[in-house]
Structures are given as structure tokens and as C-alpha cells.
Structure 1
């Protein structure tokens, strides 16, 4: 792995650890390029998918703060090509605040592939493909 790849991987690893730790809002500016775009493809938790730019990313992170706790990203695979990184993760979290019909304490899990595009020392693109386990039924 070259110097650029190591620096990019380290940035993504720090970003993932920050998200695990509950970092949100303006504290994420350390990681995100001013022209960042986040693309979420349709999933169980976000059936319509969506695209966000920096202001929406920061607002969504603050709105969602405290909704999930004990979240963990277990990185299973990283593929790098220049300033692009693709990370395959096993994500675990627990519902901390009721989400519709999903009660507090519900364990969540997804197998996810997240593609990051790096520009300089910031993340400029995030594309998430989340494959959630079915939610438990009452």
C-alpha cells in the first residue's frame, strides 16, 4: 500500500471510529470535504434511498444522534484504487430511541459495502449499500 493509500485508509478508519463514537454535526467537518455527496441506496431502513450534500449530512447526523447506541463497524475487507476505497463492513447497533414500530433495545445488523472517494485529506463521496437483517416482529 502506497503513502496515499495508507493516508486515505487511515482517514476512513478515523471517520468510522468517530461515527461509532457518536460524533455528529459540525464535529464531522474534520472528515468531510465541503463538496461532499452522500448516496444511500434503497434499504430496509431507507426504502427510498437518497442523496445528501454537506448541510444535509450534518443535519441528519445531529437529528439521528442518540437514536442508535452500541454501534460497531467490523471491517471485513478494504479494496483501494488511487483515491477510492471500498469497505465491506459488518454493522451492529441497538435502538436507543423508539423508531416507529421498532422498540428500544432492538438489535440491528447489516452487511454493508461503503464506497469512499477521497479528495486531498477529506472524504468527498460516500456511497452506502446496506443490506439489513429483517427486523424482529412482535
Structure 2
């Protein structure tokens, strides 16, 4: 996580996600690393999450043929 901002019942989070592909799946090969930069907006009511809205931007990746 890079930053978290709270405004009333809305929390905005900016983060970077990385994951490694476990097995060949579609155009992705096992061991390939994926990275996404994410903005996420979370609405909370009574201490419970009531809504999550996420925007992802993946870094370019190689598609295996």
C-alpha cells in the first residue's frame, strides 16, 4: 500500500499488486510475474464494508504463444 485516505464513510487506497502465475493459463506462462497499480474505493457502514470499487492498470507483459 502506498497511501490510504479516509473521508467520512469512504476510504481511498492506492497500492501495487504483484502475483506469479502458478501454471500455464491462457496466454500466461507458469512463473510469469504480473504487476498492477490499483486505486480502490471502499465504502463502510457500521464497521462493515458495503461497497468496493477497484481500478487496475497492469504493467505491460509478454504474451507467450
| Band the TM-score falls in, shorter-chain normalisation | 0.7 to 0.9
Q: In the aligned structure 2, how far is the partner of 1:84 from the partner of 1:123?
A: 10
**Unmatched 5+ stretches in structure 1:** 1-74
Is 2:18 the partner of 1:92?
yes
RMSD of the TM alignment (CA)? 1.1
* CA distance, structure 1, for counterparts of residue 9 and residue 30 of structure 2: 39
Aligned CA distance change for structure 1 residues 121 and 97 (closer, same or farther; 3 Å): farther
**Paired position in structure 2 for 1:55:** none
User: TM-score, with normalisation over the residues of structure 1?
Assistant: 0.44
Number of paired residues? Answer: 64
Structure with more helix by fraction: 1
Question: Which residue in 2 is equivalent to 1:134?
Answer: 60
How far apart in 1 are the matches of 2:29 and 2:41? 30
1-side partners of 2:55 and 2:23: how far apart? 24
**Which runs of 5 or more residues in structure 2 are unaligned?**
none
**TM-score, normalising length from structure 2?**
0.88
Tell me what 2:3 maps to: 77
Matched, 1:120 2:19: no
> Could you tell me how far apart the structure 2 residues matched to 1:137 and 1:97 are?
14
Structure 1 stretches (4+) deviating beyond 2 angstroms?
none
Give distance in 1, aligned partners of 2:27 and 2:20.
14
Distance 2:28 2:44 in 1: 35
Displacement of 1:92 in angstroms is 0.8
